[in-house]
Amino acid sequence: MSDPYPAAEAEASRPAKSSSNKSLMDRLLSLVRREPQDRDSIKAVLEAAHERSLLDDEAYVMIKGALAVSEGTAGDLMVPRSRMDMLDIGQPLPYLLSQVIDTAHSRFPVYEGDRENIIGILLAKDLLRCMLEPGLDLRSLVRPAVFIPESKRLNVLLRDFRVNRNHLAIVIDEHGGISGLVTMEDVLEQIVGDIEDEFDEDEEQTIFAESDQSWRVMATTDIDDFNEALGAALPEDDYDTVGGWLAAELGRIPRRGDTVERDNLAIEVVRADARRALWLRVRRVAPRTGDTGEQA
Protein backbone atom coordinates (compact mmCIF):
# COMPACT_ATOMS: atom_id res chain seq x y z
CA MET A 1 0.00 0.00 0.00
CA SER A 2 1.38 3.39 -0.89
CA ASP A 3 2.27 5.88 1.84
CA PRO A 4 -0.65 8.27 2.37
CA TYR A 5 1.74 11.05 3.49
CA PRO A 6 4.62 11.07 0.99
CA ALA A 7 5.22 14.80 1.43
CA ALA A 8 5.69 14.46 5.18
CA GLU A 9 8.14 11.59 4.68
CA ALA A 10 10.10 13.59 2.13
CA GLU A 11 10.26 16.54 4.50
CA ALA A 12 11.51 14.35 7.31
CA SER A 13 14.22 12.92 5.09
CA ARG A 14 15.66 16.35 4.29
CA PRO A 15 18.79 17.40 6.18
CA ALA A 16 18.26 19.96 8.92
CA LYS A 17 18.89 23.56 7.98
CA SER A 18 22.20 24.93 9.13
CA SER A 19 22.21 27.43 11.97
CA SER A 20 23.45 30.07 9.54
CA ASN A 21 20.02 29.99 7.89
CA LYS A 22 18.17 30.67 11.10
CA SER A 23 16.60 34.07 11.46
CA LEU A 24 18.23 36.63 13.68
CA MET A 25 15.29 36.41 16.07
CA ASP A 26 15.68 32.62 16.39
CA ARG A 27 19.33 32.97 17.21
CA LEU A 28 18.68 35.68 19.77
CA LEU A 29 15.95 33.60 21.39
CA SER A 30 18.33 30.69 21.67
CA LEU A 31 20.63 32.90 23.70
CA VAL A 32 18.01 34.22 26.10
CA ARG A 33 16.18 30.96 26.86
CA ARG A 34 18.11 30.83 30.10
CA GLU A 35 15.85 33.67 31.26
CA PRO A 36 18.14 36.48 32.49
CA GLN A 37 17.30 37.44 36.04
CA ASP A 38 18.44 41.09 35.99
CA ARG A 39 19.76 43.84 33.74
CA ASP A 40 23.35 42.70 34.09
CA SER A 41 22.32 39.30 32.75
CA ILE A 42 20.58 40.96 29.81
CA LYS A 43 23.71 42.97 29.06
CA ALA A 44 25.78 39.81 29.21
CA VAL A 45 23.46 38.16 26.67
CA LEU A 46 23.75 41.21 24.39
CA GLU A 47 27.54 41.17 24.63
CA ALA A 48 27.58 37.47 23.77
CA ALA A 49 25.31 38.10 20.78
CA HIS A 50 27.54 40.93 19.63
CA GLU A 51 30.70 38.83 19.99
CA ARG A 52 29.11 36.05 17.93
CA SER A 53 28.08 38.59 15.25
CA LEU A 54 24.39 38.02 15.85
CA LEU A 55 24.12 41.77 16.47
CA ASP A 56 26.02 44.26 14.39
CA ASP A 57 27.68 47.27 15.99
CA GLU A 58 24.81 49.66 15.29
CA ALA A 59 22.12 47.38 16.74
CA TYR A 60 24.27 46.55 19.76
CA VAL A 61 24.87 50.21 20.60
CA MET A 62 21.21 51.11 20.16
CA ILE A 63 19.94 48.29 22.38
CA LYS A 64 22.46 49.19 25.07
CA GLY A 65 21.39 52.81 24.74
CA ALA A 66 17.75 51.87 25.15
CA LEU A 67 18.60 50.01 28.36
CA ALA A 68 20.55 53.00 29.63
CA VAL A 69 17.58 55.29 28.96
CA SER A 70 15.29 53.02 30.95
CA GLU A 71 17.70 53.32 33.90
CA GLY A 72 18.54 57.04 33.69
CA THR A 73 16.75 60.12 34.99
CA ALA A 74 16.37 63.69 33.80
CA GLY A 75 18.86 64.77 36.45
CA ASP A 76 21.50 62.51 34.90
CA LEU A 77 21.18 64.05 31.45
CA MET A 78 20.11 67.67 31.95
CA VAL A 79 22.05 70.74 30.97
CA PRO A 80 22.67 72.44 34.33
CA ARG A 81 21.03 75.79 35.08
CA SER A 82 24.35 77.66 34.95
CA ARG A 83 24.82 76.60 31.33
CA MET A 84 21.28 77.17 30.07
CA ASP A 85 20.90 79.66 27.22
CA MET A 86 17.85 81.73 28.11
CA LEU A 87 16.11 84.82 26.76
CA ASP A 88 15.03 87.79 28.86
CA ILE A 89 11.55 88.89 27.74
CA GLY A 90 12.41 92.44 28.81
CA GLN A 91 15.21 92.83 26.26
CA PRO A 92 14.64 94.49 22.86
CA LEU A 93 14.08 92.24 19.87
CA PRO A 94 17.43 92.99 18.10
CA TYR A 95 19.31 91.90 21.22
CA LEU A 96 17.29 88.68 21.47
CA LEU A 97 17.86 87.94 17.79
CA SER A 98 21.62 88.27 18.28
CA GLN A 99 21.45 85.76 21.14
CA VAL A 100 19.46 83.33 19.01
CA ILE A 101 22.00 83.60 16.19
CA ASP A 102 25.01 83.22 18.49
CA THR A 103 23.75 80.14 20.31
CA ALA A 104 22.07 78.53 17.28
CA HIS A 105 19.38 76.74 19.29
CA SER A 106 15.85 76.22 18.02
CA ARG A 107 14.13 76.60 21.42
CA PHE A 108 14.82 78.86 24.37
CA PRO A 109 13.45 79.14 27.90
CA VAL A 110 12.15 82.67 28.44
CA TYR A 111 12.36 84.38 31.82
CA GLU A 112 11.12 87.66 33.23
CA GLY A 113 13.08 89.63 35.79
CA ASP A 114 14.91 86.71 37.40
CA ARG A 115 16.29 83.60 35.71
CA GLU A 116 14.34 81.49 38.17
CA ASN A 117 11.11 82.98 36.83
CA ILE A 118 10.70 81.04 33.58
CA ILE A 119 7.49 82.07 31.88
CA GLY A 120 7.62 79.80 28.83
CA ILE A 121 9.48 78.58 25.77
CA LEU A 122 10.19 80.58 22.61
CA LEU A 123 10.82 78.88 19.26
CA ALA A 124 13.42 80.62 17.13
CA LYS A 125 11.28 80.15 14.01
CA ASP A 126 8.44 82.10 15.65
CA LEU A 127 10.64 85.19 15.68
CA LEU A 128 10.29 85.34 11.91
CA ARG A 129 6.79 86.71 12.46
CA CYS A 130 8.32 89.75 14.16
CA MET A 131 9.98 90.68 10.87
CA LEU A 132 6.64 90.74 9.11
CA GLU A 133 4.75 92.26 12.04
CA PRO A 134 7.08 94.75 13.79
CA GLY A 135 4.41 95.68 16.33
CA LEU A 136 3.80 92.09 17.41
CA ASP A 137 3.90 91.52 21.18
CA LEU A 138 6.70 89.04 21.83
CA ARG A 139 4.80 87.57 24.76
CA SER A 140 2.16 86.25 22.39
CA LEU A 141 4.80 83.98 20.85
CA VAL A 142 5.89 82.42 24.16
CA ARG A 143 4.58 78.88 24.58
CA PRO A 144 3.90 77.15 27.91
CA ALA A 145 6.91 75.48 29.51
CA VAL A 146 6.91 71.88 30.72
CA PHE A 147 8.42 71.35 34.18
CA ILE A 148 9.63 67.94 35.35
CA PRO A 149 11.42 66.67 38.47
CA GLU A 150 15.04 65.55 38.39
CA SER A 151 13.90 62.03 39.23
CA LYS A 152 11.77 61.58 36.09
CA ARG A 153 12.80 58.48 34.17
CA LEU A 154 14.16 59.15 30.69
CA ASN A 155 12.03 56.46 29.04
CA VAL A 156 8.89 58.02 30.55
CA LEU A 157 10.09 61.47 29.51
CA LEU A 158 10.65 60.30 25.92
CA ARG A 159 7.12 58.92 25.81
CA ASP A 160 5.74 62.22 27.14
CA PHE A 161 7.73 64.16 24.54
CA ARG A 162 6.15 62.07 21.79
CA VAL A 163 2.61 62.12 23.12
CA ASN A 164 2.53 65.82 24.00
CA ARG A 165 4.66 66.98 21.05
CA ASN A 166 7.15 68.75 23.28
CA HIS A 167 10.86 68.91 22.59
CA LEU A 168 12.18 70.61 25.72
CA ALA A 169 11.46 70.33 29.44
CA ILE A 170 12.64 72.43 32.39
CA VAL A 171 14.04 70.32 35.22
CA ILE A 172 13.28 71.43 38.78
CA ASP A 173 14.70 70.30 42.11
CA GLU A 174 12.80 69.13 45.18
CA HIS A 175 12.31 72.74 46.32
CA GLY A 176 10.88 73.90 43.00
CA GLY A 177 14.03 75.71 41.88
CA ILE A 178 15.39 75.48 38.34
CA SER A 179 17.98 72.71 38.01
CA GLY A 180 18.45 72.62 34.25
CA LEU A 181 16.81 71.54 31.03
CA VAL A 182 16.62 68.42 28.88
CA THR A 183 15.57 68.04 25.25
CA MET A 184 14.12 65.23 23.19
CA GLU A 185 17.32 65.19 21.16
CA ASP A 186 19.36 64.67 24.33
CA VAL A 187 17.32 61.56 25.17
CA LEU A 188 17.34 60.17 21.62
CA GLU A 189 21.11 60.57 21.41
CA GLN A 190 21.45 58.22 24.36
CA ILE A 191 19.91 55.54 22.14
CA VAL A 192 21.07 56.25 18.60
CA GLY A 193 24.23 58.26 19.22
CA ASP A 194 24.97 61.80 18.11
CA ILE A 195 22.31 63.37 15.92
CA GLU A 196 24.08 65.60 13.47
CA ASP A 197 22.67 68.89 12.26
CA GLU A 198 22.77 70.83 9.02
CA PHE A 199 26.44 71.60 9.41
CA ASP A 200 27.22 67.91 8.80
CA GLU A 201 25.91 67.59 5.26
CA ASP A 202 29.46 67.44 3.91
CA GLU A 203 31.33 64.73 5.80
CA GLU A 204 34.67 66.11 4.64
CA GLN A 205 34.01 69.65 5.85
CA THR A 206 34.44 70.34 9.56
CA ILE A 207 34.89 74.14 9.63
CA PHE A 208 31.97 76.40 8.70
CA ALA A 209 32.25 80.17 8.38
CA GLU A 210 29.51 82.15 10.14
CA SER A 211 31.07 85.52 9.33
CA ASP A 212 34.46 86.99 8.50
CA GLN A 213 35.49 86.70 12.14
CA SER A 214 33.49 83.70 13.39
CA TRP A 215 33.42 79.98 12.62
CA ARG A 216 31.56 76.89 13.79
CA VAL A 217 34.02 74.01 14.12
CA MET A 218 33.58 70.29 14.77
CA ALA A 219 35.71 69.21 17.72
CA THR A 220 36.98 66.29 15.62
CA THR A 221 38.71 68.71 13.23
CA ASP A 222 42.34 67.80 12.65
CA ILE A 223 44.63 70.33 14.27
CA ASP A 224 46.65 70.87 11.10
CA ASP A 225 43.45 71.67 9.18
CA PHE A 226 42.37 74.04 11.96
CA ASN A 227 45.73 75.82 11.99
CA GLU A 228 45.77 76.18 8.22
CA ALA A 229 42.19 77.45 7.92
CA LEU A 230 42.30 79.92 10.82
CA GLY A 231 45.95 80.87 10.91
CA ALA A 232 46.42 79.34 14.34
CA ALA A 233 49.39 77.53 15.86
CA LEU A 234 47.92 74.82 18.07
CA PRO A 235 50.49 72.12 18.89
CA GLU A 236 50.30 69.24 16.41
CA ASP A 237 52.77 66.81 18.00
CA ASP A 238 50.78 65.74 21.07
CA TYR A 239 47.19 65.94 19.77
CA ASP A 240 45.33 64.95 16.63
CA THR A 241 42.10 66.94 17.00
CA VAL A 242 41.05 70.32 18.33
CA GLY A 243 38.79 68.60 20.86
CA GLY A 244 41.71 66.53 22.16
CA TRP A 245 43.85 69.62 22.57
CA LEU A 246 41.02 71.48 24.28
CA ALA A 247 40.47 68.67 26.81
CA ALA A 248 44.16 68.71 27.68
CA GLU A 249 44.14 72.50 27.95
CA LEU A 250 41.21 72.42 30.37
CA GLY A 251 42.49 69.39 32.25
CA ARG A 252 39.07 67.69 32.05
CA ILE A 253 36.26 66.79 29.68
CA PRO A 254 35.06 70.03 28.03
CA ARG A 255 31.57 71.27 28.93
CA ARG A 256 29.25 73.60 27.11
CA GLY A 257 30.22 77.20 27.84
CA ASP A 258 33.93 76.50 28.40
CA THR A 259 36.08 79.07 26.60
CA VAL A 260 39.81 79.12 25.89
CA GLU A 261 41.71 81.91 24.14
CA ARG A 262 44.70 81.05 21.97
CA ASP A 263 46.40 82.72 19.01
CA ASN A 264 43.92 85.63 19.09
CA LEU A 265 41.04 83.16 18.85
CA ALA A 266 38.31 82.62 21.46
CA ILE A 267 37.35 78.94 21.29
CA GLU A 268 34.02 78.23 22.99
CA VAL A 269 32.34 74.87 23.48
CA VAL A 270 28.75 75.19 22.24
CA ARG A 271 27.84 71.52 22.31
CA ALA A 272 29.24 68.61 24.31
CA ASP A 273 28.18 65.31 25.80
CA ALA A 274 29.39 63.42 28.85
CA ARG A 275 32.48 62.17 27.04
CA ARG A 276 33.77 64.94 24.79
CA ALA A 277 33.23 68.28 23.08
CA LEU A 278 31.19 68.07 19.88
CA TRP A 279 30.92 71.59 18.42
CA LEU A 280 32.99 74.72 18.97
CA ARG A 281 32.44 78.36 18.08
CA VAL A 282 35.64 80.19 17.23
CA ARG A 283 35.85 83.99 17.12
CA ARG A 284 38.75 86.22 16.16
CA VAL A 285 39.57 88.57 19.04
CA ALA A 286 41.87 91.54 19.34
CA PRO A 287 45.35 90.78 20.71
CA ARG A 288 45.77 91.40 24.41
CA THR A 289 48.96 92.54 26.07
CA GLY A 290 50.67 89.66 27.81
CA ASP A 291 48.28 87.08 26.36
CA THR A 292 49.63 83.60 27.17
CA GLY A 293 46.80 81.58 25.69
CA GLU A 294 45.42 80.52 29.10
CA GLN A 295 41.73 79.88 29.66
CA ALA A 296 39.64 83.00 29.70
Which of the four CATH numbers 3.10.580.10, 3.30.70.600, 2.40.50.140, 3.30.70.100 does domain 76-192 have? 3.10.580.10
61-65, 105-109, 178-182: the lowest-pLDDT one: 61-65
> Which pLDDT does position 88 carry in this prediction?
93
Residue 153's contacts (CB-CB under 8 Å, 6 or more residues apart) are 70, 72, 73
Q: Do domains 76-192 and 198-284 have the same CATH topology?
A: no
Q: Tell me the CB-side half-sphere exposure of residue 240, using CA atoms within 13 A.
A: 1
Q: How far apart are CA 81 and CA 62, in angstroms?
A: 29
Classify residue 179 by burial, with Cβ atoms within 10 Å: 0-12, 13-18, 19+: buried
Contact 126, 137 (CB under 8 A): no
Answer whether residue 147 shows pLDDT above 80.
yes
Domain ranges for the chain:
22-72, 76-192, 198-284
Q: Which amino acid, 185?
A: E
> Which pLDDT does position 37 carry in this prediction?
60
At 229-282, the pLDDT tens digits run 999 989 887 788 999 999 999 999 898 889 999 888 999 998 887 678 888 999
> Which pLDDT does position 87 carry in this prediction?
93
Determine the longest span between alpha carbons in the chain, in angstroms: 108
At 175-230, the pLDDT tens digits run 889 999 999 988 888 777 665 555 444 456 888 888 888 898 989 999 999 999 99
Which of the four CATH numbers 3.30.465.10, 2.130.10.10, 3.40.50.300, 3.90.550.10 does domain 198-284 have? 3.30.465.10
Higher-pLDDT residue of 181, 42: 181
> Which pLDDT does position 11 carry in this prediction?
47
